[in-house]
């Protein structure tokens, strides 16, 4: 941090690379422009000077022409004598003409009129021309008088031909204007001499103008190029003729273009320099930033490390390669009870017991479990994680110690608990099952396999259990499972299972459903084989039923005793009373006769009762296999006389080989009773017939005996039909004991009798024998 | 006065007849062996009997059924006594349900019982 602070001020430059780049660009570029401008000014100056030099040269040449012209005209004027007449004009003119090759013609114009001219032949047409009066020459002629020296007019086109300039010198004799001495020079020739024609058109532009006297109108005599800008040109004024020569260098109009390559170069130089500056300045800044980040990271990780080391919930030990303690954290000290000074002289191996550690191997594993000996000599189970690294070329180790004592303890208690649970489940015979309805994964405990009678190797599906469930219970079972899944409410119910050997099992089932953390709908439950209990219960119910029935029979019996026996006893009482009262012998004899009758009846009743008691006493009877056909044949034999006498047709629809497990004597008694009843109560108006049918249902073998006799009104006799001494007819031999006994006999062996009957149509008796 | 005996016990009928005749020779006696015949007589002849001795257990139509039929038809002009050998409590209880019953007699029917009935009937008819 101190390093960074000290650099702060000097780093202002480093922190503004962009600004500095812009600045350096500006400086360099400005310099470039400044230099370019300077260069340009110098260039322009040079060009001007060059023009001026050329103009000076031209001026010298023109002045020379003018001087020689002046000399020539003056020499010519000297020929004029005192009288004002030129003498030897021809001669002098010839001499002058020869001396000055530039001259085209010489004239003397006394009073402004052309009078003398040389060479005469070529120019005689000009004779007599008054220049002061002629329009084209008047103004310039007057100008010559005004300036009182030689003044060049033109160039003008001569009448006699040629484009010339005319220099006129006003001549005064005795203070009076005499006329002009004039020299004519070909204009082309003049341009040649003056050097104007020699100017290079590629290098220079120029214009040669004439301003007429008394006017500002400028007339271009010679011009190079159309677009000549006078304002930029150097000029040479020739007053003796009112001429102006303008001149400038051709490329003068674009001075910046000349220096533009330099400016462009300057621009890129500045740009390059700016970029260079920027990057040079930026690099340290970036490095500095990077250092800052690294420093922060370093600081962070140091803080983190310190925090982890000191505040960690597990013990941390820092060891050198010889297992000496370099540093330990608070948690380690707290949990082990040591102070650092206690262990500073110890080695790590002194406080650790590692069962599978060998002496020569030092901290062999990256992860291992061991026992830590605490200061109070308590041993703690620890899991140690080691990481090794080098510091100053020496191996060091950081060990993380995790106290797993309680984990081990709970592991042990869990194991114990699960052992107990297993034992409990095994002893109770409970079977556990679980069905993940989403993945269709099914788990059964060992007992569940046993209860369902399924081999443990069987691949379990949702069908496995359904196949084992009794067909009568399957639908109900499915319904309960669905409800359980839908309502998430547990349900306890019983279900019957079938075993391979045909046995039936009664199973108590408790099912519950819930949703696990992955969203799977799980159905689970326990099953318990309750067959024994269930069978005991069923037996108990049977016994109860039997007791109830016996009680009913007992009541019936007591009623019989109460009613039937008493009717005899009351009769005897009455008879005895009358015997006492009656006086006559005959009357007494009659009473004794009645008494004998009652005695017989009483005996019959007692015999019947004895029979009933006998049946009931032998409740359950001795079952034996009896062939139904055999019994029927015996009965037909017993009743053969009645059958023949009354012409009864008996139709048998009994398959041969039907065997009933019943008491043979009872069976014969019951069937005989019903068949003889059918004969006894036959309808004399019909052809009597008795039909015997045989059927079977789930529980019973059924013998049906159907007649077309007189029938009974069952509606009104429902409760009495099997009662003792119930008769429905006035038949003299009807004692009302038969069905009572038959019913008792059937019930004694678990069967029953059902009757259907319609008055005048006939009766159907169905005998139910338990299968 | 007419006394009607409905009972399937032939001996009982004979004995009861004898006893009635010994009380009053003028009393006429009608006998039936089952309820059905007795009911026919009662419903057809509007009954001239003053007293009816009715047994419970009889073929074709027992005493209870006979009573139900009479009550249904609204025949009330006789003093009906249930005369039974049954000492079963259930029968006595059942008898209380029939308004048409004048009394419940347990056999044997003695001379004294018959006397009481005839005297009571005479007083009421007068």
The pLDDT tens digits of the residues spanning A223-281 come to 776 666 677 777 778 777 778 878 777 665 456 666 778 888 888 988 998 889 888 88
Q: Which of A208-217, A223-232, A331-340 has the lowest mean pLDDT?
A: A223-232
| Best mutation target, B7, B37, B65, B108, to test chain A (most A CBs within 10 A) | B108
| Best mutation target, B7, B8, B9, B14, to test chain A (most A CBs within 10 A) | B14
**Residue A3, pLDDT score:** 45
Chain B nearest-CA distance from A559, in A, is 7
| Residue among A55, A331, A311 nearest A196 (CA) | A55
B85 → closest Cβ in A563, A577, A736: A563
Distance CA B62, CA B54 (A): 9
CB contact under 8 A, B9 and A567: yes
**Residue A716, pLDDT score:** 65
CB contact under 8 A, A728 and B108: no
Asked if CATH classification 3.40.50.2300 holds for the domain at B2-125, the reply, yes or no, is: yes
Residues of A in contact with B86 (CB under 8 A): 559, 562-563, 566
**Beta carbons within 10 angstroms of residue A584's beta carbon:** 8
Cβ–Cβ under 8 Å, residues A452 and A461: no
Distance CA B114, CA B121 (A): 11
Distance CA A425, CA A431 (A): 7
CB contact under 8 A, B65 and A728: no
Is residue A171 classed as helix, strand or coil in its secondary structure?
A: strand
Asked if A589 has any chain B CB less than 8 Å from its own CB, the reply is no
Radius of gyration of chain B (CA): 13
**Beta carbons within 10 angstroms of residue A107's beta carbon:** 25
Distance spanning both ends of chain B, measured CA to CA:
12
CB hemisphere CA count around B58 (13 angstroms)? 28
Long-range Cβ contacts of A724-727 (<8 Å, 24+ apart): A724/A556, A724/A560, A724/A564, A724/A608, A724/A612, A725/A560, A725/A563, A725/A564, A725/B57, A726/B57, A727/B59
Q: Residue written as tokens 């489940």?
A: A425
For residue A730, what is the nearest residue in chain B, using CA coordinates?
B59
Asked if CATH classification 3.30.450.20 holds for the domain at A78-198, the reply, yes or no, is: yes
pLDDT at A360 over 50: no
| Best mutation target, B85, B91, B92, to test chain A (most A CBs within 10 A) | B85
Distance CA B37, CA B34 (A): 6
pLDDT at A730 over 60: no
Would you state the structure tokens that stand for residue B70, as one six-digit string? 């009479």
**Residue A692, pLDDT score:** 92
Strands (E), A140-287: 151-157, 163-173, 176-186, 204-211, 218-223, 234-238, 243-249
Q: What is the percent of chain A with per-residue pLDDT over 90, rounded to a whole number?
A: 7
Tell which wins on pLDDT, A508 or A208: A508
- A547-557: burial string, b at 16+ Cβ within 10 Å, e else: eeeeeebeebb
Average pLDDT over residues A202-214: 74
| Residue among A407, A406, A403, A401 nearest A343 (CA) | A401
pLDDT at B103 over 70: yes
Domain boundaries A537-617, corresponding CATH code: 1.10.287
A566 → closest Cβ in B14, B62, B107: B107
B85 → closest Cβ in A567, A577, A726: A567
B11 → closest Cβ in A562, A598, A730: A598
- B53-90: burial string, b at 16+ Cβ within 10 Å, e else: bbbbbbbbbbbbbbbebbeeeebeebbbbbbbbbebee
- DSSP character string of A27-70: HHHHHHHHHHHHHHHHHHHHHHHHHHHHHHHHHHHHHHHHHHHH
CB contact under 8 A, A574 and B19: yes
* Mean of the per-residue pLDDT values of chain A: 81
For residue B86, what is the nearest residue in chain A, using CA coordinates?
A563
Tell which wins on pLDDT, A69 or A221: A69
pLDDT-derived band at A768 (thresholds 50, 70, 90) equals very high
pLDDT tens-digit map of A27-37: 988 998 898 88
Asked if A301 has any chain B CB less than 8 Å from its own CB, the reply is no
Residues of B in contact with A729 (CB under 8 A): 59-60
Distance CA A738, CA B116 (A): 40
Residues in chain B: 126
Is residue A355 classed as helix, strand or coil in its secondary structure?
A: coil
Cα–Cα distances in angstroms (integers) from residue A673 to residues A618, A738, B56, in the given order:
20, 6, 26
**Residue A720, pLDDT score:** 64
pLDDT at A1 over 50: no
Cα–Cα distances in angstroms (integers) from residue A746 to residues A240, A557, A608, A618, B116, in the given order:
182, 17, 17, 12, 48
Q: What is the percent of chain A with per-residue pLDDT over 70, rounded to a whole number?
A: 90
Cα–Cα distances in angstroms (integers) from residue A593 to residues A353, A565, A573, A598, B11, in the given order:
120, 19, 14, 9, 10
- DSSP character string of B70-85: HHHHT---SEEEEEES
Average pLDDT over residues A367-392: 86
CB hemisphere CA count around A418 (13 angstroms)? 5
Tell which wins on pLDDT, A735 or A230: A230
Asked if A566 has any chain B CB less than 8 Å from its own CB, the reply is yes
Model confidence pTM above 0.90: no
For residue B56, what is the nearest residue in chain A, using CA coordinates?
A563
Residues of A in contact with B108 (CB under 8 A): 570-571, 573-574, 577
The CATH architecture to which A429-529 belongs is 2-Layer Sandwich (3.30)
pLDDT at A735 over 60: no
Q: Residue written as tokens 């009798």?
A: A753
**Residue A764, pLDDT score:** 92
Cβ–Cβ under 8 Å, residues A360 and A379: no
Q: SS3 for A634-662, per residue?
A: HHHHHCHHHHHHCCCEEEEECCCCCEEEE
**Beta carbons within 10 angstroms of residue A511's beta carbon:** 22
Annotated domain spans of chain A: 78-198, 312-409, 429-529, 537-617, 624-770
Is residue A220 classed as helix, strand or coil in its secondary structure?
A: strand
Q: Which of A436-445, A538-547, A732-741, A742-751 has the lowest mean pLDDT?
A: A732-741
A730 → closest Cβ in B9, B33, B56: B33
**Residue A293, pLDDT score:** 92
Chain A nearest-CA distance from B109, in A, is 7
pLDDT tens-digit map of A680-718: 888 888 899 999 999 998 888 999 999 998 888 777 666
Annotated domain spans of chain B: 2-125
Asked if A720 has any chain B CB less than 8 Å from its own CB, the reply is yes
Asked if CATH classification 3.30.750.24 holds for the domain at A624-770, the reply, yes or no, is: no
Would you state the structure tokens that stand for residue A652, as one six-digit string? 């048998």
Chain B nearest-CA distance from A708, in A, is 20
Residues of A in contact with B109 (CB under 8 A): 574
Tell which wins on pLDDT, A412 or A719: A412
Q: In this structure, which topology does domain A312-409 adopt according to CATH?
A: Beta-Lactamase (3.30.450)
Chain A nearest-CA distance from B35, in A, is 11
* Mean of the per-residue pLDDT values of chain B: 85
Residues of A in contact with B85 (CB under 8 A): 562-564, 566-567, 569-570
* DSSP-derived pairing of the beta strands A325-328 and A315-320: antiparallel
Q: Residue written as tokens 């009843």?
A: A677
Distance CA A545, CA A550 (A): 8
Average pLDDT over residues A644-669: 86
**Residue A2, pLDDT score:** 44
CA A644 to chain centre: 99
pLDDT tens-digit map of A561-574: 777 788 888 889 88
Q: SS3 for A465-497, per residue?
A: HHHHECHHHHHHHHHHHHHHHHHCCCEEEEEEE
Chain B nearest-CA distance from A652, in A, is 32
Cβ–Cβ under 8 Å, residues A435 and A482: no
**Residue A736, pLDDT score:** 56
CB contact under 8 A, A581 and B107: no
List Cβ neighbours of A428 (8 Å cut-off, separation of 6 or more). A528
Chain B nearest-CA distance from A764, in A, is 20
**Residue A390, pLDDT score:** 85
| Best mutation target, B59, B92, B115, to test chain A (most A CBs within 10 A) | B59
- The conformation of residue A402, written as its DSSP 8-state character, comes to E
Q: What number of helices (H) and strands (E) belong to chain B?
A: 5, 5
List Cβ neighbours of B114 (8 Å cut-off, separation of 6 or more). B16, B19, B20, B23
Residues of B with CB under 8 A from a CB of A: 9-12, 14-16, 18-19, 22, 33-34, 56-57, 59-62, 65, 84-88, 90, 106-111
pLDDT tens-digit map of A122-142: 777 777 777 777 777 777 778
* DSSP-derived pairing of the beta strands A521-529 and A431-436: antiparallel
* Greatest Cα-to-Cα distance within chain A, rounded to the nearest angstrom: 254
* DSSP-derived pairing of the beta strands A762-770 and A752-758: antiparallel
Is residue A271 classed as helix, strand or coil in its secondary structure?
A: helix
pLDDT tens-digit map of A106-116: 888 887 788 88
Chain A nearest-CA distance from B100, in A, is 21
Residues of A in contact with B34 (CB under 8 A): 730
Asked if A717 has any chain B CB less than 8 Å from its own CB, the reply is no
Q: Do domains A312-409 and A429-529 have the same CATH topology?
A: yes
pLDDT at A388 over 90: no
Distance CA A138, CA A140 (A): 6
* DSSP-derived pairing of the beta strands A624-627 and A325-328: unpaired
Is residue B69 classed as helix, strand or coil in its secondary structure?
A: helix
């Amino acid at each position: 941090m101190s390093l960074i602070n000290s650099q702060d001020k000097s780093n202002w430059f480093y922190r503004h690379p962009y600004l500095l780049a812009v600045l350096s660009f500006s400086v360099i570029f400005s310099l470039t422009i400044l230099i370019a401008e300077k260069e340009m000014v110098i260039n322009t100056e040079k060009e001007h000077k060059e023009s001026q030099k050329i103009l000076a040269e031209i001026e010298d040449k023109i002045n020379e022409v003018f001087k020689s012209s002046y000399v020539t005209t003056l020499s010519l004027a000297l020929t004029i004598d005192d009288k004002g007449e030129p003498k030897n004009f021809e001669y002098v003119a010839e001499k002058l003409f020869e001396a000055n090759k530039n001259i085209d013609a010489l004239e003397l114009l006394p009073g402004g009129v052309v009078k003398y001219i040389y060479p005469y032949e070529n120019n005689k047409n000009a004779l007599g021309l008054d220049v002061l009066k002629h329009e084209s020459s008047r103004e310039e002629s007057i100008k010559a008088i005004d300036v009182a020296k030689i003044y060049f007019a033109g160039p003008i086109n001569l009448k006699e031909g040629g484009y010339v300039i005319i220099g006129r010198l006003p001549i005064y004799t005795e203070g009076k204007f005499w006329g002009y001495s004039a020299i004519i020079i070909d204009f082309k020739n003049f341009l040649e001499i003056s050097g104007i024609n020699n100017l290079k058109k590629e290098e220079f532009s120029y214009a040669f103008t004439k301003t007429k006297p008394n006017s500002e109108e400028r007339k271009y005599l010679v011009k190079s190029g159309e677009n000549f800008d006078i304002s930029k040109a150097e000029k040479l004024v020739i007053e003796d003729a009112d001429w102006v020569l303008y001149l400038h260098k051709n490329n003068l109009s674009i001075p910046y273009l000349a220096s533009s390559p330099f400016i462009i170069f300057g621009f890129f130089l500045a740009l390059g320099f700016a970029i260079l500056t920027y990057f040079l300045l930026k690099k340290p800044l970036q490095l500095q930033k990077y250092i800052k980040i690294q420093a922060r990271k370093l600081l962070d990780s140091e803080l983190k490390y310190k925090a982890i080391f000191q505040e960690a919930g597990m013990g941390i030990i820092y060891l050198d390669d010889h297992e000496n303690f370099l540093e330990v954290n608070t948690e380690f000290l707290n949990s082990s009870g040591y102070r650092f000074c206690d262990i500073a002289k110890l080695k790590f191996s002194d406080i650790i017991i590692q069962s599978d550690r060998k002496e020569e191997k030092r901290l062999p594993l990256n992860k291992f479990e061991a026992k830590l000996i605490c200061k109070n000599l308590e041993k703690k189970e620890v899991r140690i994680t080691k990481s090794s690294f080098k510091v100053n070329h020496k191996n060091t180790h950081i060990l993380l110690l995790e106290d797993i004592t309680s984990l081990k303890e709970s592991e042990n208690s869990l194991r114990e608990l699960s052992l107990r649970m297993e034992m409990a489940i095994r002893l109770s015979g409970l079977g556990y099952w679980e069905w993940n309805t989403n993945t269709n994964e099914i788990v059964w405990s060992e007992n569940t396999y046993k209860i369902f009678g399924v081999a443990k190797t069987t691949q379990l599906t949702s069908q496995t259990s359904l196949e084992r469930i009794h067909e009568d219970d399957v639908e109900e079972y499915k319904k309960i499972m669905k409800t359980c899944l839908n309502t998430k409410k547990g349900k306890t119910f019983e279900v019957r299972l079938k075993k391979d050997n045909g046995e039936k099992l009664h199973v108590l089932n408790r099912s519950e459903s819930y949703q696990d953390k992955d969203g799977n709908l799980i159905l689970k439950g326990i099953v318990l084989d309750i067959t024994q209990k269930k069978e005991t219960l069923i037996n108990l119910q049977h016994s109860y039923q039997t007791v109830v029935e016996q009680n009913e029979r007992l009541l019936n019996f007591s009623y019989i005793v109460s009613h039937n026996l008493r009717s005899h006893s009351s009769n005897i009482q009455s008879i005895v009373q009358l015997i006492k009262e009656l006086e006559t012998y005959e009357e007494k004899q009659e009473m004794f006769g009645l008494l004998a009758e009652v005695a017989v009846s009483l005996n019959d009743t007692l015999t019947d009762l004895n029979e009933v008691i006998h049946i009931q006493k032998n409740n359950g009877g001795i079952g034996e296999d009896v062939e139904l056909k055999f019994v029927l044949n015996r009965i037909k034999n017993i009743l053969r006389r009645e059958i023949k006498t009354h012409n009864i047709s008996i139709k048998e629809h009994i398959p041969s080989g039907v065997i009933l497990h019943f008491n043979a004597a009872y069976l014969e008694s019951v069937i005989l009773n019903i068949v003889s009843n059918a004969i006894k109560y036959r309808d004399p108006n019909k052809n009597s017939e008795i039909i015997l049918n045989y059927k079977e249902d789930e529980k019973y073998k059924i013998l049906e005996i159907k007649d077309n006799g007189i029938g009974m009104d069952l509606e009104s006799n429902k409760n009495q039909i099997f009662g003792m001494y119930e008769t429905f007819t006035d038949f003299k031999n009807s004692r009302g004991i038969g069905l009572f006994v038959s019913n008792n006999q059937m019930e004694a062996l678990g069967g029953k009798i059902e009757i259907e009957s319609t008055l005048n149509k006939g009766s159907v008796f169905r005998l139910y024998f338990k299968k | 006065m007419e006394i009607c005996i409905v009972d399937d016990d032939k001996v009982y009928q004979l004995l009861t007849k004898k006893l009635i005749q010994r009380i009053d020779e003028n009393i006429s006696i009608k006998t039936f062996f089952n309820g059905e015949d007795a009911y026919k007589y009662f419903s057809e002849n509007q009954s001239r009997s003053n007293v009816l001795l009715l047994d419970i257990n009889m073929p074709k139509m027992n005493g209870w059924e006979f009573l139900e039929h009479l009550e249904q038809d609204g025949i009330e002009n006789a003093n009906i006594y249930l005369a039974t050998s049954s000492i079963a409590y259930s029968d006595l209880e059942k008898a209380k349900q029939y308004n048409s019953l004048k009394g419940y007699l347990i056999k044997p029917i003695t001379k004294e019982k018959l006397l009481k009935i005839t005297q009571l009937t005479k007083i009421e008819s007068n």
